[in-house]
Amino acid sequence: MSTSTSPHPAPAPAPAKTAKTSRLRPSGQLWTVLRLHRTALWVWVAFVVISIGVLLWVRYGSTGVDAAATLAGCGTAGHRACDEWMWSDTALVTTRDRLLEIGQVLRNLAPVVAAWAGAALIGRELENGTAELAWTQSVSPARWLATKLAVPAAFLTVGAGVLVASYRMLLDWSVTHHMLRAGYEKYTLYFNIGPATVAYTLLGLAVGALAALLLRRAVPALVAGAAAAWLLTVAIAPWRGSLWPVGAVGDSSLWHLPGSDSCGGGIYNHNLIDSVDPCISAQPADHYLPVQLVETGIVLALAAVLVLISFRVLHRRNA
């Protein structure tokens, strides 16, 4: 937003090419993408750094330390059983809520990325004609789109990968301290701690790009891209339970975190969380990786198909 305070309604900053560039400076199209979208780049870097800060704070902040201390020694003489959940303990409930909220943020990256890709990355350039300008400057449309997608994809993969790995470490910590109860909330958390989250982020990029190429205007592409990405994530979610043959009894739509307390030992108060009975439907923990990988594969394949369609649309427009 730093550029927004400039006194003039600035057009897209033109890549003012200097004659002498240093060896480290990327050249040509790559430089253009990095330079043009530097605000978004910094926002993404800041988001990743701040999120990691929040994760560290949840664990090492006073609330997290209190929550761990509350449950320390559970199951031994003079303490309650580990599976007895104290809803009235503020530190515990707050920590649990934070874990869930971070999970929600990670789950909803795809629509945000799609909105950005649709509006700022591609839609804006098609709307104001700078894309056509680039295509006349010895950059073919296909190469233009390829760079536009590859650079953000690299940043998104690294950033989301780091976030997912950190979040997983935080969840492992909370599982060791018996902070997670059986069922519902684990289901929410479960899908955020594997490569599928990274795949969804990339799917968001592909959806936004396609929306922009079809609509060729920034704000409609923003809205359509975000809505479509959100719908896709919602549409895929119900199928997760049936992605892999189920050995356990009952409804296959609920999961256990690998390594957590067994479901039978968990306490679950249906008056306090929404409506799902968890304990009848746990999946064995060793199903975790296959299901994650299958889901990741499906999401990545979908993203690849959308990218292919995007190139086709671009080709047809310019033919």
Partner 1 sequence: MSALALRGPAWLVARQHGRTLGWGAVALVLLIVVRLVLLGWTYVDVVQTCMSVIGFLPALFGLFVAGPMIARDLESGAYRLLWTQSVSPARWLTAKLALPAAGAVATMLVLAGLCRWALSFKPDGAQGMEWYADQVYPLIGPLGAARALAYIAIGALVGILVRRTIPAMVASFVAIGIVEFAFNFARGHLGTATTLYSTLDEGMRGAPGIFVADGNVTSTGAKIGDACVSDQCMREHDISGYFNTYIPHFWPTQLIETGLVLAVAALALTLTFRLLRTKAAS
Tell me which residues touch partner 1 (CB under 8 A): 1, 4-5, 9-10, 39, 66, 70-71, 73-74, 78-80, 84, 86-91, 119-120, 124, 218-220, 222-224, 227, 230-231, 234-235, 238, 271, 274-275
Which of 10, 319 has the CB closer to partner 1?
Answer: 10
* Smallest separation, CB 247 to partner 1 (Å): 26
Residue 13, both tokens: 């900053």
What residue type is assigned to position 32 of the chain?
T
Residue 225, both tokens: 């891209």
Which of 11, 264 has the CB closer to partner 1?
Answer: 11
Residue 46, both tokens: 């800041």
H or E element that contains 257? none
Which of 149, 229 has the CB closer to partner 1?
Answer: 229
Angle, helices 288-318 vs 195-215, to 10°: value is 20
Cβ burial of 144 (10 Å; 0-12, 13-18, 19+) is buried
- Residues near 162 by beta carbon (within 8 Å), at least 6 away in sequence: 48, 52
* Smallest separation, CB 80 to partner 1 (Å): 5
What residue type is assigned to position 293 of the chain?
L
Longest pairwise C-alpha distance within the chain:
78
* Smallest separation, CB 4 to partner 1 (Å): 5
* Cα distances (angstroms) measured from residue 204 to each of 153, 184, 241, 307: 10, 26, 22, 11
Which of 74, 162 has the CB closer to partner 1?
Answer: 74
H or E element that contains 228? helix 218-236
Which of 156, 236 has the CB closer to partner 1?
Answer: 236
* Smallest separation, CB 28 to partner 1 (Å): 25
* Smallest separation, CB 270 to partner 1 (Å): 8
* Smallest separation, CB 82 to partner 1 (Å): 10
- Residues near 240 by beta carbon (within 8 Å), at least 6 away in sequence: 191, 253, 291, 295
Which of 25, 79 has the CB closer to partner 1?
Answer: 79
Pick from 88, 3, 83: nearest CA to 40: 3
Whether the Cβ atoms of residue 67 and residue 59 lie closer than 8 Å to each other? no
Which of 27, 275 has the CB closer to partner 1?
Answer: 275
* Smallest separation, CB 24 to partner 1 (Å): 29
* Smallest separation, CB 228 to partner 1 (Å): 10
Which of 276, 279 has the CB closer to partner 1?
Answer: 276
